[in-house]
Amino acid sequence: MHNGNIKLKGSDERLNSSDKGHHSDDLMLLEKIRKGDSLAFELLIRRYEKPLYDFVVRSLWDTDMAEDIVQETFVKVFLKSNQFKGEAKFKTWLFQIAINQVRNLYRSKKRNPVNFIPDADIDAVPDLQTVTGEFLNVEKKQLMRQLIEQLPDKQKNVLLLRVYQELKFEEIAEVVGSPVGTVKANYHHAINSLHVRMQKRQSESHAVL
Amino acid sequence: MQCCKVKKLLSAYVNHDLGAHETSGIRTHLQSCDDCSNEHASLVRMLDTMKMIPIPEPAPSFWGMLPDRVRYLLEERHIITGEHSVRGWFIRYMEQWRPLLLGAALTSVVFLVIPVVTNTPDAPESEASHLSTLLGDREASVRFGYMDIDWQSKEMEDILSRLGVNHKSITELKTIRSETADHSVKLLKQKKELLRNIHSYQLETNGRGNFDEAMAELGRTEQKLLQLKSEEAKKVAEFLGEKDMGRLVVEWDVLLRNKKLNQNGLGGVQKQEKGEK
């Protein structure tokens, strides 16, 4: 009944496939988009919607704004699809557009970040012995999130792309338009600064307790 | 190696971003220095914590609606800028990225011939099979939820025949579809109307209240639609098997698009637009 041509892969699994194959798939989809293929555009959206949302929402910590930025980024992808030459990976180009969108948003709106405490962490009720430990864990994540948010934009973007998107430094350099050495320096500076501030804040809270 | 240097390089060490000499120097130092070793463990714990920070989820309908929303934004902007149609607008963009085509646009003959030649569709079956490699079962189910399939058409019968579905089963499939068709058409109309309203409320200074209400209603409509479609998708998937449903979805989409291209041709659309002007 079926010729077996369909590869049973979800988008998440595909993101782990080899870079080369992934890149040529992207190029093929973009070529089809240029020819007016709406299915190809939808597939491209499906392929990158989650990593893109992850990156944007971690930059803004506001779901409404993140949704808007994701939409706008894909609109830009469509409008600029003719400008993508395929020399870099599509994903780096996509994040480049997203970063510009976020920058434009900062310029046009005064940011009003939500004080987000994830439900998953609140709802998870551990057994009695681990209550204190779990609570501290939630607190730690919350603190960590706030400290990341306070990083200068250049450091924050590099950190988010490296830690959560697992891009190589060379790819991050393409996204942010800086030399690889600067990107590495920004990353290590961000990590060291976070580490120092985390340790400081934790020792302060222990002193209070 | 001294402690202050080791501490400075710890991030690069954890990230495997140092040369062999420095890496080995730090490793040796960590084995003999408790202070730096604790610092290293603390940094690794911090990176683990960082990776586990969860993100806030978007509105429930966001993922399902994203392609529609993007399409809608493109369409809306096109209307705002006074263009005639999304398709016409899209063709204008094609001209921009294809300078050769733009140059050749001096004559209407070029407009009629080049786009048609360059966009000659592949054979539906081979192209569907090609695209199928990019579309997993899960995505096929999602996509099915947003497709308007004409189960009564000859083309769909052909696709089903190719998938090996016999005549009796095709009739049964049509029955499954007709059970939900009216309801889903009504909901789709409602959704379109709401999206239009939402956009106009966004432009109004005092439209915030209406906007929020319409967004909430859109969420509810979307939920109903998703439920309806997922029930339908489940029935069809049970009937056909998920793999063949994936193939059906892609073949239908490719067929529809190629049909439109063959009917209008890009040059045809261009000509029509010129006529409108």
- Per-residue model confidence as pLDDT tens digits over B186-197: 777 777 777 777
A86 versus A175: which is more confidently predicted? A175
Q: How far apart are CA B34 and CA B133, in angstroms?
A: 54
Residue of B nearest to A138 (CA): B53
**Sequence-distant (≥ 6) Cβ neighbours of residue A19 within 8 angstroms:** A89
Span B72-92, mean pLDDT?
52
Q: Which of B73, B94, B132 sits opposite A71 (nearest CB)?
A: B73
The region that residue A168 occupies, defined by phi over 0 for left and psi between -120 and 50 for alpha, beta otherwise, is: beta
Alpha-carbon distances, residue A94 vs A98, A172, B15, B191, B233 (angstroms) = 6, 12, 25, 29, 32
Q: How much is the pTM?
A: 0.56
Tens of pLDDT, residue by residue over A39-71, are 788 888 988 999 999 999 999 888 888 999 999
Predicted confidence at residue B17, as pLDDT, reads: 85
Task: Give the minimum alpha-carbon distance from A207 to chain B in angstroms, rounded to a whole number.
Answer: 19
Neighboring chain A residues of B222 at a CB cutoff of 8 Å: none
Q: Is the pLDDT reported for residue B116 higher than 50?
A: no
Task: Give the minimum alpha-carbon distance from B113 to chain A in angstroms, rounded to a whole number.
Answer: 15
Residue of A nearest to B119 (CA): A35
A73 versus B237: which is more confidently predicted? A73
**Length of chain A in terms of residues written:** 209
- Band of pLDDT at residue A190, cut at 50, 70 and 90: very high
Q: How far apart are CA B271 and CA B107, in angstroms?
A: 12
Predicted confidence at residue A3, as pLDDT, reads: 33
Q: How far apart are CA A138 and CA A126, in angstroms?
A: 12
Neighboring chain A residues of B18 at a CB cutoff of 8 Å: none
Q: Which of B46, B241, B244 sits opposite A198 (nearest CB)?
A: B46
Q: Is the pLDDT reported for residue B89 higher than 60?
A: no
Predicted confidence at residue B189, as pLDDT, reads: 78
Q: Which of A82, A83, A144 sits opposite B49 (nearest CB)?
A: A144
Report the residue of B53, B65, B71, B244 to disrupt the A interface, i.e. the one with the largest count of A CBs within 10 Å: B53
Q: How far apart are CA B248 and CA B164, in angstroms?
A: 11
**Three-class SS of residue A7?**
coil
Tens of pLDDT, residue by residue over A155-167, are 999 999 999 999 9
The region that residue A185 occupies, defined by phi over 0 for left and psi between -120 and 50 for alpha, beta otherwise, is: alpha
Q: Is the pLDDT reported for residue A121 higher than 70?
A: no
φ and ψ at residue A110, rounded to 5 degrees: -85, 125
Residue of A nearest to B147 (CA): A39
Alpha-carbon distances, residue A12 vs A8, B136, B139, B141 (angstroms) = 12, 11, 11, 16
Predicted confidence at residue B262, as pLDDT, reads: 58
Which of A80, A149, A182 lies closest to B50 in space, CA to CA? Answer: A149
Predicted confidence at residue B205, as pLDDT, reads: 56
Are residues B49 and A46, on separate chains, in Cβ contact within 8 Å? no
- Band of pLDDT at residue B261, cut at 50, 70 and 90: low
Q: Is the pLDDT reported for residue A6 higher than 50?
A: no
